[in-house]
Amino acid sequence: MSTEYTATVKVVVPQLVHCVSCDFKSVYEQTVTGRHTVETGLLTGDASAQAAAEQGARDYLMARLNDPELCNAIPCRNCYRYQPYMCKLVAQSRYNTVGCMFGYLPIVLGILVALVFGVMTLFMKDERLVSGITAGGGLVAVMVGWLVLRRIKRFVAAYDPNEHDFGKRKALAEQRALAPHVYDEMQTASLCDAYNERVSAQQSRPWAATAPQQSRPWAKDAAPDDPTELIVTWYAEPATFSTGGAVSIRLSATMHVTVLIPDTATPGDEFPVRADTPNVQPFKVRLLPIRVHPEEQRLD
């Protein structure tokens, strides 16, 4: 009896929006999921199926992340308007149910009816007339479904979500969209949590700082206890990778660090922090770009 293994991986990525209506920049987070299922079989054992499911989930996740048009429809945090490339997503979600019920469903059922009763006309001579009429009805259903889908396609193209549901747009923007400096504050809070957790672990195991690296060969791949090995991720605007800059991070009221970013930086580069105050344990920051939709044209 076969066993089914399903693996799911999720990642949260920030998206940068530069509003074409009010010139305001905002950031929202999007959860991207990869899922894959594998069954055990004659040549696939439990371990192999589980590993294949996990690899398939990662591959699917990477395929989604490599889609440059991946985005959510989130209104501007300032004026509560959708960007032009988001309007189609909102319209599609509005008419999806209608399309499934009155477009795709009649087409599928119509094809099945036309095939079944079309075959029956070949073998049931006594019922040929009824079968033929029924098969014709199936073809009519297919035509009706096709016409409905064409009509819905026009509705989607003509629908402007910025002319409707202001209250819903405002609530969604206030829930999901953040000003860039607020998003940086969230990143700082997350970074401080990781830093403080690592420092606390180090203080509870003081021998770890002096233990030879050779005695801990797993430290490179596992989460190390030494604060000097701490690497945290920081998302920056794409322009940072061409212009360079500096990121100031306040770890506490008395500890402050700066990350100096050269104009030659590339996504994934790791930079050591510069301690601006005493008693700061060294760590590194891995720099990644905030995602930007291809139709964002105003990222100066």
pLDDT, tens digit, for every residue of 140-154? 777 877 777 777 777
Mean pLDDT is lowest, of 41-55, 247-261, 268-282, for 41-55
Nearest CA to 7 among 46, 64, 56?
56
How many CA atoms are closer than 13 Å to the CA of 107, on its beta-carbon side?
13
Mean pLDDT is lowest, of 5-14, 46-55, 180-189, for 46-55
Rounded Cα–Cα distance for residues 110 and 127 (Å): 19
CB 107 within 8 A of CB 141: yes
Question: Which tokens is 18 given?
Answer: 């530069």
Beta bridge partners of 11: 32
How many CA atoms are closer than 13 Å to the CA of 36, on its beta-carbon side?
18
Where do the domains of the chain lie? 4-65, 84-173, 179-292
Rounded Cα–Cα distance for residues 87 and 96 (Å): 14
Question: Which tokens is 111 given?
Answer: 């094809």
Q: Which 3 state secondary structure label does DSSP give 94? A: helix
| Superfamily the domain 179-292 falls into | Urease metallochaperone UreE, N-terminal domain (2.60.260.20)
Rounded Cα–Cα distance for residues 128 and 134 (Å): 10
Instruction: State residue 126's pLDDT score.
Output: 61
